[in-house]
Amino acid sequence: MANTENPRKSSLDLSYNGVNATADFSLKTESFAYVDNASGEADTLTLTVNNQSGDWLNEFMPEDGDYIGASINVVNWNSEGDNRSLSCGKFELDSFGASGYPETASISGITIPIRSNFNTTEKNKVYSKTSTKTILSEICGNAGISLVYEADDYVIEEIEQSRQTDMFFSFSLCKSHNLAMKLYNSKMVVYDQTEYEKKDSAYTVDKSDMQNYSYRWEKTKLYDSVQIQYADPNSDETITYFYVIPGGKGIRTLYINEQADTYRDAEIKAKSKMLENIRAASPISFRVKGDPNHISTRNINITGLGKADGKYFIDRVSHSKSAMGIYTCTIKAHLTVTHTDFSTSAQLSKEENAKVYTVVKGDCLWNIAKKFYGSGVKYTIIYNANKGIIKNPSLIYPGQVLTIPPG
């Protein structure tokens, strides 16, 4: 631990419209809050400052287009020489308020391009014969921000943006394709949620580290299978997509009533919705001593909570410094979910000669192979092509849609 000669301390570096303003803020900042979201919402920053001089209602009054940058610094934090910092990014000011008494002013910023219509104008547009990356690239170009895309580029036959802002539509598009979207420092970062949750844990948080905690388990959201039915746009035939997670029995099924353009599209939407529910089934939130290491999108090990121990994905971190200078972090996370793969049928769906078959009651792989290939011995061809759906070749279920490759 830090000794009395070199005490532990935390501080803020702040800039205003690109100019270092740390000295101007250092004696006036009464509280600071930075909310770091993994996906679904934009990051935010809030400052409360002393306004005894009245400057914030005069020459310091924010103007449209002003922005603020922030970094959190720690010195001798966990041990002698443990000096680190966290860049919070750039925030465009979206609100200002002043109150008394005592005289204070509050400044709030958000990591979205306020000077564009990204989060204000509802639009109607149809995207056809395109992809997730292409759509998001166009939206980012219109907003004047850059796109960092770290995921598969999913094919989109047709999708409608109906009375939605570009920001809301982007979040919705990503969510339906198991993608997470983070707005940070004039960038849109899109990543594969499952692949991030497969990463190693960055560090461990024990119950003894927590100043408080809240854990919840909701069985109603723990599905082991998902089913979606849709009308084939070419034949109007009703197609059923059914998926059972590895090791599941298909007993707790999430039924989705949503239109899909293709079998692949149905698979992506169904799995994404199922994973969204499962991730919401085991949430935890807790407050700990502040630390720049606490960053959304990281995996952490949680210990000391008995059967609730495990690897968790950080959904949100709220970094706060109080008027007394106390630095804390409030973390919201969920138990990682990595059992469902999206890539298994990606290449199969591209096979020009592949067929699909919906399993009915009484079917087995042997009989299906005999039907398509003339020999039940060839059931392994079907099994190998559908390992993302069939985990045990002796167990298939009515409603499952199987890819039948050429024999």
Give yes or no: residues 45 and 131 share one domain: no
- Among 195, 225, 255, where does a domain finish? 195
Kindly state whether residue 349 falls inside one of the protein's structural domains: yes
Task: State phi, psi for 67 to the nearest 5 degrees.
Answer: -140, 160
Residues 6+ apart with CB under 8 A from 268: 154, 176, 177, 178, 342
Rounded distance, CA 182 to CA 151, Å?
Answer: 13
pLDDT reported for residue 258? 84
Rounded distance, CA 386 to CA 358, Å?
Answer: 12
Per-residue tokens: 392:
């045990």
Q: In what order do the strands lie in the sheet with 187-192?
A: 146-150, 187-192, 179-184
In the predicted model, what is the mean pLDDT of residues 140-163? 91
- Window from 173-182, 253-262, 387-396 with minimum mean pLDDT: 387-396
pLDDT band at 327 (very low <50, low <70, confident <90, very high): very high
CB 171 within 8 A of CB 128: no
**Does pLDDT of 24 surpass 70?**
yes
Task: Report in angstroms the alpha-carbon separations of 165 from 96, 123, 162.
Answer: 24, 6, 9
- Among 73, 89, 110, where does a domain finish? 110
Q: What is the pLDDT of residues 63-75, one digit of tens each?
A: 888 889 999 999 9
- Window from 280-284, 306-310, 350-354 with minimum mean pLDDT: 350-354
Q: Specify the CATH number for the domain of residue 43.
A: 2.40.10
Per-residue tokens: 322:
């109080």
Q: Specify the CATH number for the domain of residue 295.
A: 2.40.30.150
Q: Which amino acid is at 177?
A: H
Give yes or no: residues 348 and 393 share one domain: yes
- Among 110, 143, 168, where does a domain finish? 110
Sign of the alpha-carbon torsion through 360, 361, 365, 368: negative
Kindly state whether residue 272 falls inside one of the protein's structural domains: no
Cβ atoms within 10 Å of 27's Cβ, excluding its own: 8
Kindly state whether residue 62 falls inside one of the protein's structural domains: yes
Give yes or no: residues 97 and 24 share one domain: yes
Give yes or no: residues 292 and 330 share one domain: yes
| Residues β-bridged to residue 356 | 403
Kindly state whether residue 239 falls inside one of the protein's structural domains: no
Q: Which amino acid is at 53?
A: S
Q: What is the pLDDT of residues 159-192, one digit of tens each?
A: 999 999 999 999 999 999 999 999 887 889 999 9
Task: Report in angstroms the alpha-carbon separations of 305 from 107, 199, 219, 280, 394.
Answer: 38, 22, 19, 18, 38
Give the pairing type, strands 29-37 and 310-321: antiparallel
Give yes or no: residues 18 and 81 share one domain: yes
Give yes or no: residues 308 and 213 share one domain: yes
- Window from 76-90, 106-120, 361-375 with minimum mean pLDDT: 106-120
Residue 101, preceding peptide bond in cis (omega within 30° of 0): yes
Residues 6+ apart with CB under 8 A from 99: 105, 106
DSSP letter at 376?
G
CB 124 within 8 A of CB 116: no
Kindly state whether residue 401 falls inside one of the protein's structural domains: yes
Q: Round the average pLDDT of the chain to a whole number and report it.
A: 87
Give yes or no: residues 397 and 320 share one domain: no
Radius of gyration of the chain, Cα coordinates, nearest whole angstrom: 26
**Does pLDDT of 344 surpass 60?**
no
Give yes or no: residues 371 and 321 share one domain: no
Give yes or no: residues 93 and 163 share one domain: no
Give yes or no: residues 208 and 320 share one domain: yes
* Residue whose tokens read 């303003």: 21
Q: Specify the CATH number for the domain of residue 365.
A: 3.10.350.10
Count of domains observed in the chain: 4
Strand, coil or helix: 366: helix
- As a whole-number percent, the residues of the chain with pLDDT over 90 amount to 48
Rounded distance, CA 298 to CA 201, Å?
Answer: 7
Q: Specify the CATH number for the domain of residue 149.
A: 3.55.50.10
Give yes or no: residues 15 and 141 share one domain: no
Give the pairing type, strands 283-289 and 327-335: antiparallel
Kindly state whether residue 377 falls inside one of the protein's structural domains: yes
Kindly state whether residue 130 falls inside one of the protein's structural domains: yes
Strand, coil or helix: 264: helix
- Window from 143-152, 306-315, 323-332, 335-344 with minimum mean pLDDT: 335-344
pTM: 0.82
User: 137 lies in which domain range?
Assistant: 123-195
Q: What is the pLDDT of residues 26-67, one digit of tens each?
A: 667 888 999 999 998 889 999 998 888 888 888 888 888 888
Give yes or no: residues 143 and 83 share one domain: no
Kindly state whether residue 128 falls inside one of the protein's structural domains: yes
**Does pLDDT of 270 surpass 50?**
yes
